[in-house]
Amino acid sequence: MELNKFIDELFKRGKQEGLSDMEVYYIDSDSFEVNIYNQEVDKYNVNRNKGISLRAIYDGRLGYAYSEKFDEEDIDF
């Protein structure tokens, strides 16, 4: 699911469930690491991190959820 559509649906569903003061935090990062030994590649790592978290108030209490997937069924989580 496209990110902006996912966030819109997340806020919509949260409001229906009684959440207030909702806040979304999104991270998307790439990293690359290479080690050279005796002028040859010894090892390398390629990583991609992405995730989304929701923080909201429910019944006067703060709650938090995090996911690395952006599928519609994850909104219910």
For the chain, domain boundaries: 3-70
All residues at 6 or more sequence positions from 39 whose CB lies less than 8 Å from its CB, including other chains: none
Q: How many residues does the chain have?
A: 77
> Tell me, what's the pLDDT at 75?
83
Which pLDDT does position 70 carry in this prediction?
81
Q: How confident is the model at residue 2 (pLDDT cuts 50, 70, 90)?
A: confident
Question: What percent of the chain is modeled with pLDDT above 70?
Answer: 100
Q: What pLDDT is attached to residue 23? A: 96
* Element of type H or E holding 66: strand 61-67
> Over pLDDT 90: what percentage of the chain?
78
CA dist 71 to 31, 44, 48, 58, Å?
24, 31, 18, 23
**62-to-22, 29, 58, 67, 70 alpha-carbon distances in Å:** 10, 27, 6, 17, 23
| Structure confidence by residue, pLDDT tens digits, 61-77 | 999 999 888 888 878 87
